[in-house]
Amino acid sequence: MEARGRFLLAVAVSLAGWWCSLALGWAPEQDQSLRVPAGWSHVGRVAPLDELVLTFALRQQNVEHLVKLVGRVSDPDSPQYGKYLSLEELRTLVQPSRLTHNTVHKWLGAYGIKGCKTIITLDFLECVMPASTAERLLPGAQFHRYVSGQRSAVRSPVPYTLHEELAEHIDFVGGLHRFPAERKVVTRASGKEEVMARYQQRRAAFHLGVTPSVIRKRYNLTDRDIGALPNNSQACAQFLEQYFHPADLLEFMKLFASSFGHRSRVDQVVGHQGLGKAGLEASLDVEYIMSTGANISTWVFSNAGRHESQEPFLAWLLLLSNMSSVPWVHSVSYGDDEDSLSWAYMERLNVEFMKAAARGLTVLFASGDAGAGCRKLAGGSHTFRPSFPASSPYVTTVGGTAFKNPFRVTWEVTDYISGGGFSNVFPMPDYQAAAVRNFLRSAPKLPPRSYYNSSGRAYPDLAALSDNYWVVTNRIPLPWVSGTSASTPVVGGIMALINDRRLQKGLPPLGFLNPALYKLQEKGPTAAFYDVTQGCHLSCLDAAVEGQGFCAGPSWDPVSGWGTPNFPQLLKALLNP
């Protein structure tokens, strides 16, 4: 306790010094949460010569033009629909100005920092330097080491500043504050003995959890619905020392994929692939994107955050902007509370998602497993807690559902953990305005308006089953695995199959899906999705909402989006959107 007291006193003194330094500098992320997440313990100040890796987000050019371009290439009614940019063309559009490059390199050089790595789009720099240099470079910063289990991270518990002349050249500096977000899949093993007894009584009518065959039956994929083209591909991302094992994937396909053509090997791993214990999340992602998007070339982006000062999610985004050829579909199960992140960071990452959309990439994010979320405000009242990147208007966000009868392939209701709601950062995009207004106008019951921002980007956009999956991990088949980390790769595989058919017909890949998705549904009743109209998700346990967030209803809603895919009809609609 005495050591912790000394540390908190040091932080308080540092904060006082930081306020003084504000008079001389500029704080790009003064709204960034400095809270140390639960499970991380402070070890001490790093040594002056300890090496850090910091990432500098350089100010891009022509962002307003990029916004308009993404709108045109993603809108099925536009003559430019599907006319995507190459990475090199994208670089020409957004690369920072010569003045920005010269100013930033001159500033770094004055501190002896040379040999920084850049990427193809030239809008990030990754620099290695001693901790003592980093603290002089970024007045106010102090670097401390934290540990959580076997992992360690170096972060600054106090804000950093930059010289005023850099305000128009740098958006933020990565590697100082944000701890790696950890999203765990949910297991629901309660009542297992009762379920097994019921199953033994009516074996012919029941299944014992979601497998690839159950997914295919529910969403009407036949054994012939598999990939056929060598130039089509899909990907998932794994973080925080979460690794899949090739042996698990092989075993999973033997057990659950014998009735349809498939691949049993990942074609490319980008990054470090560990040899230790397999991660349940990573196993789930790979097994279900490859069994749904069957026989399609699959990549895994492995972003372990092996250097203590790296941000694994930021590293993944840099990889995307540093590879001319990447898969068309990306499934990502990663997220943070919006209120824990700085505005500068989220705004810049939103531009990174626009860059992906301009290249024709379909980027899918899990909506999260906390329902509407809950945040306690300073006065003791509560509000819902949106998640990012799920709340970005330039990604497609996937919620979760469950079977009405958990052990029959029947119609679906909402999964109570399915993340959804309204952004407090990003305004509602035009493509969804009519659908969301319809929900807000027609919902029989809504939470108090003080709990959510009804003019914000609303999510999710669509959903899939997220409850009671079978996964093979560390050579053991495990049941009862749940979460939107399961529904997202399923949707990813379905979109990769649709891309396969589009490419066969000489059409461009789907790219950023949302404008086409919302236009498709707003044209009138369609069989492309199974509308989920029953169930609510969880939220704050208080007297005003009593643990209930939003509820599903006809058409779009902030629990299940437009519903879950009916593959043949969705394929037909998206071949000619």
Supply the DSSP string of 382-398, one letter for each residue: EE---EETTT-TTSEEE
**How far, rounded to the nearest angstrom, does the alpha carbon of residue 192 sit from its chain's CA centroid?**
31
Residue 69 lies in a domain: no
Query: What is the tally of structural domains in the chain?
Result: 2
Question: Which stretches does DSSP call E strand in 466-555?
Answer: 469-473, 476-482, 529-530, 536-538, 548-551
Same domain as 290, residue 342: yes
Of the candidates 309, 333, 485, 539, the residue annotated as catalytic is 485
Same domain flag for 301 and 397? yes
Question: Pick from 151, 174, 197: which residue ends a domain?
Answer: 174
The answer to whether 532 and 416 have CB atoms below 8 angstroms apart is: no
Q: What is the pTM of this model?
A: 0.92
Domain-located, residue 345: yes
Looking at residue 190, its pLDDT comes to 42
Residue 81 covered by a domain = no
338 vs 208, which has greater pLDDT?
338
Tell me, yes or no, whether 220 and 158 share the same domain.
no
Neighbours of 158 (CB within 10 A): 20
Q: Which of 127, 159, 174 is the last residue of a domain?
A: 174
- Is 485 designated active site? yes
Same domain, 233 and 368: yes
Residues 44 and 169 in one domain: yes
CA dihedral in degrees (465, 466, 471, 477; nearest 10)? Answer: -90
Same domain membership, residue 245 and residue 139: no
Phi, psi of 574 (to 5 degrees): -90, -5
Among candidate residues 75, 281, 338, 531, the one labeled active-site is: 281
Contact 536, 414 (CB under 8 A): yes
* Mean of per-residue pLDDT scores for the chain: 90
Are 129 and 228 in a shared domain? no
- For residues 439 and 297, membership in a common domain is answered with yes
285, 311, 467, 531: the catalytic one is: 285
Separation between Cα atoms, residue 71 and residue 509, nearest integer Å: 16
**CATH assignment of the domain containing 293:** 3.40.50.200
- What pLDDT score does 25 carry? 82
Distance CA 411, CA 492 (A): 21
Domain identity same for 165 and 252: no
pLDDT score at 182: 67
Residue 102 resides in a domain? no
Give a yes or no: residue 214 inside a domain: yes
* Residue 120 CB-density burial (10 A; 0-12 exposed, 13-18 middle, 19+ buried): middle
Q: What does the pLDDT look like over 118-170, one tens digit per residue?
A: 999 999 999 999 999 999 999 999 999 999 888 889 999 999 999 999 999 99
- Is residue 281 flagged as an active site residue? yes
pLDDT tens readout for residues 234-263: 999 987 667 899 999 999 999 999 999 999
Domain for residue 493, yes or no? Answer: yes
Helix (H, G, I), strand (E, B) or coil at 106: helix
β strands within 338-475, DSSP E: 362-366, 375-376, 382-383, 387-388, 396-403, 412-414, 421-427, 456-459, 462-465, 469-473
The residue assigned the tokens 């919006």 is 338
Examine the domain organization and report whether 154 and 280 are in the same domain: no
Domain extent, residue 124, equals: 2-59+117-174
Residue where one domain finishes, among candidates 174, 189, 219: 174
Q: How far is CA 133 from CA 34, 50, 53, 109, in A?
A: 22, 10, 12, 11
Residue 481 above 70 pLDDT?
yes
Q: Is the pLDDT of residue 351 over 70?
A: yes
Q: What angle do CA 180, 344, 120 make, to 5 degrees?
A: 75
pLDDT at 20 over 60: no
Q: pLDDT tens digits for 264-293?
A: 999 999 987 767 788 888 899 999 999 999
| 475 and 543 housed in the same domain | yes
